């Protein structure tokens, strides 16, 4: 590991003061991705600014207006244990539970998983499906953008110098809405996803037709992506095996996977359709009026 | 490069140290403090040999900067028992033959301890999940899981 200066902020105000007039800093949350990159000299920061002690960025809240907010420093373990998220954002709970290992989930944060901007990040397709908006805060102002607009490419985001991802907000699921998440890795633990997908649907309680749908995938393009063509195929229809098959084939034709160390493009196309099928079924089954 | 002041509790003892900004927790524990029960395997969070317990939760000490542990409580395998008074998990690993080369054992035992501290009566699936971040290349895991199950059985028998 190369040398760097380390600073620790106990509050956001302190963090912004430390960031002022600096451009060559790296923000540190849990460290489960960054320490690997530091150690292997893939990243060689001059200044490391540790946000880990900022308490109010570690909280999960149900806001009462049907909104759930997560501080960026909430860990995957916190997500898994949160009764609020189990009830209102089950796809996210499932995604966090499939990240890395217990050791990684205890330290790794949602904000870190997002800002690391890996195309294979597990929580991101789940969050996009759940309609996540993120707060990017600098010393003077806060801007809110949809999560899917954050990513520019592998490891690259629109986060500007002086900004911190502070908060993620989701609309709490209602009884006629459901979410699903599926991941395929080489094994159950400590596997970077070959393909992952998060799905949200809202079902009309009388006609059982799908009113709203979001389908997001990871590891099939330079950034996590939504497949809007597959989403619109679901709208106005009742779920059926034929519809699922059609959705799967649209997904397979819309994604742009590559061959890499974990898998081949061709295999990814095949499994992406199948995983989306399963996640849509899961979301459909969870829309509680059916139960 | 600057240094960071850290205060933390290590196996019940208070420590106040100055560490290099780029020192990893695993190196601090092994090389500076002599706790060589913390093993360094892969160095990238895949093998779990460097597992320690920080504030009641397991962590890979190769993925933590020493500077990050200010204000925490850390337990390593050295904090569990000594030669005359082994921890029940250590006894069970010996009895069951859950140790072969031994390199993964400290991490395995700490992961099992963190599980049992949170949930004294886990099922087999929970045991397997709690050990999923610890690789063993010798045992095939069966005897390790058996050892954890034996501890649960014994403590249930004592409790009833």
- Domains contained in chain A, CATH given: 5-50 (3.30.43.10), 55-171 (3.30.465.10), 177-290 (3.30.390.50)
pTM of the model: 0.96
Pick the CATH number of B88-159 from 1.20.1250.20, 1.10.150.120, 3.30.9.10, 3.30.565.10: 1.10.150.120
| CA–CA dist A75, A89 (Å, integer) | 15
Q: Would you say residue A288 has pLDDT above 70? A: no
| CA–CA dist A73, A108 (Å, integer) | 8
Q: What are phi and psi of B54, to 5 degrees?
A: -115, 120
Residue A285 in tokens: 């089954």
pLDDT of residue A290: 56
With a pLDDT cut of 90, the percent of chain A lying above it is 87
Q: Do B70 and A77 touch (CB under 8 A)?
A: no
Q: What is the residue-wise DSSP string for chain B? A: --EEEEEEEETTEEEEEEEETT-BHHHIIIIIT--TTS---SSSSSS-TTEEEETTEEEEGGGSBGGGGTT-EEE-GGGT--SSS--HHHHHHHHHT--SS-SSHHHHHHHHHHHHHH-SS--HHHHHHHTTT---SSS-SHHHHHHHHHHHHHHHHHH-
With beta carbons under 8 A apart, name residues in chain A contacting B68: 28, 31, 50, 52
Q: How far is CA A14 from the centre of its chain?
A: 27
ipTM of predicted complex: 0.97
Mark out chain B residues that contact chain A at CB-CB < 8 A.
Answer: 1-2, 4, 20-22, 24, 43-46, 48, 51, 54, 57-60, 62-65, 67-68, 70-71, 111, 114, 129-130, 132-134
- Per-residue pLDDT 10s for chain B (160 aa) are 899 999 999 999 999 999 999 999 999 999 999 999 999 999 999 999 999 999 999 999 999 999 999 999 999 999 998 889 999 999 999 999 999 999 999 999 999 999 999 999 999 999 999 999 999 999 999 999 999 999 999 999 987 6
Q: Would you say residue A201 has pLDDT above 60? A: yes
Interface check A52 vs B, CB under 8 A: yes
pLDDT of residue A260: 85
Q: How far is A198 from chain B (nearest CA, A)?
A: 23
CB neighbour list of residue A178: distance below 8 Å, 6 or more residues apart: A200, A201, A203, A282, A283, A284, A285, A286, A287, A288
Provide the β-strand partners of residue A6. Answer: A48
| CA–CA dist A179, B69 (Å, integer) | 37
| CA–CA dist A288, A177 (Å, integer) | 8
Pick the CATH number of B3-79 from 3.30.70.260, 3.50.50.60, 3.90.550.10, 3.10.20.30: 3.10.20.30
Interface test with A, best of B1, B17, B19, B21 (most A CBs within 10 A): B21
Task: Find the CB nearest B63 among A35, A102, A189.
Answer: A35
Query: Taking the CB of residue A187, how many other CB atoms lie within 10 A of it?
Result: 7
Compare all CA atoms of chain A with the CA of B110 and give the residue at the minimum distance.
Answer: A103
Q: How far is A27 from chain B (nearest CA, A)?
A: 13
- Give the start-to-end residue ranges of the domains of chain B: 3-79, 88-159
| CA–CA dist B61, A240 (Å, integer) | 49
> Pairing relation of β-strands A195-203 and A210-218?
antiparallel
CB neighbour list of residue A21: distance below 8 Å, 6 or more residues apart: none
Q: Do B129 and A102 touch (CB under 8 A)?
A: yes
Q: How far is A286 from chain B (nearest CA, A)?
A: 24
With beta carbons under 8 A apart, name residues in chain A contacting B75: none
Residue pLDDT, tens place only, A230-255: 999 999 999 999 999 999 999 999 99
Q: Do A100 and B133 touch (CB under 8 A)?
A: yes
């Amino acid at each position: 590991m190369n040398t760097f200066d380390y600073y620790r902020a106990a509050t956001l105000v302190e963090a912004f003061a430390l960031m002022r007039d600096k451009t060559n800093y790296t923000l540190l949350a849990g460290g489960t991705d960054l320490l690997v990159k530091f150690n292997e000299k893939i990243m060689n920061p001059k200044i490391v600014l540790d946000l880990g002690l900022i308490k109010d960025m570690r909280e999960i809240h149900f806001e009462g207006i049907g909104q759930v907010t997560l501080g960026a420093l909430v860990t995957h373990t916190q997500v898994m244990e949160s009764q609020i998220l189990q009830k209102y954002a089950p796809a996210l709970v499932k995604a966090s539970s499939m990240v890395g290992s217990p050791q990684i989930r205890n330290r790794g944060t949602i904000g870190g998983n997002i800002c690391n901007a890996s195309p294979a990040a597990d929580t991101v397709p789940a969050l996009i499906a759940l309609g996540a908006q993120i707060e990017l805060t600098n010393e003077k102002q806060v801007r809110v953008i949809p999560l899917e607009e954050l990513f520019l490419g592998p490891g690259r985001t629109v986060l500007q110098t002086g900004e911190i991802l502070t908060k993620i907000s989701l609309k709490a699921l209602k009884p006629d809405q459901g979410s699903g998440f599926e991941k395929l890795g080489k094994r159950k633990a400590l596997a970077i996803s070959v393909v992952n997908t998060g799905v949200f649907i809202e079902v009309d309680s009388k006609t059982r037709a799908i009113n709203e749908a979001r389908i997001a995938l990871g590891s099939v393009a330079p950034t996590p992506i939504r497949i809007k063509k597959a989403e619109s195929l679901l709208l106005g229809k009742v779920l059926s095996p034929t519809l699922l098959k059609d959705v799967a084939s649209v997904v397979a034709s819309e994604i742009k996977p590559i061959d890499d160390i974990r898998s081949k493009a061709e295999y990814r196309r095949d499994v992406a359709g199948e995983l989306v099928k399963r996640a849509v079924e899961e979301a459909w089954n969870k829309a509680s009026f059916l139960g | 490069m600057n240094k960071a002041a850290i205060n933390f509790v290590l196996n019940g003892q208070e420590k106040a140290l100055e560490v290099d900004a780029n020192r990893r927790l695993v190196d601090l524990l092994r090389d500076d403090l002599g706790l060589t029960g913390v093993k360094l395997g892969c160095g990238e969070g895949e093998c779990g040999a460097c597992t320690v317990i920080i504030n009641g939760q397991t962590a890979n000490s190769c993925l933590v900067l020493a500077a990050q542990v200010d204000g925490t409580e850390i337990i390593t395998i050295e904090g569990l028992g000594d030669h005359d008074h082994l921890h029940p998990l250590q006894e069970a690993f010996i009895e069951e033959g859950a140790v072969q080369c031994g390199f993964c054992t400290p991490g395995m035992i700490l992961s099992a301890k963190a599980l049992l501290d949170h949930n004294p009566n886990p099922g087999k699936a929970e045991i397997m999940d709690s050990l999923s971040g610890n690789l063993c290349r010798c045992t095939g895991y069966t005897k390790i899981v058996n050892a954890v199950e034996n501890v649960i059985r014994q403590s249930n028998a004592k409790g009833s």
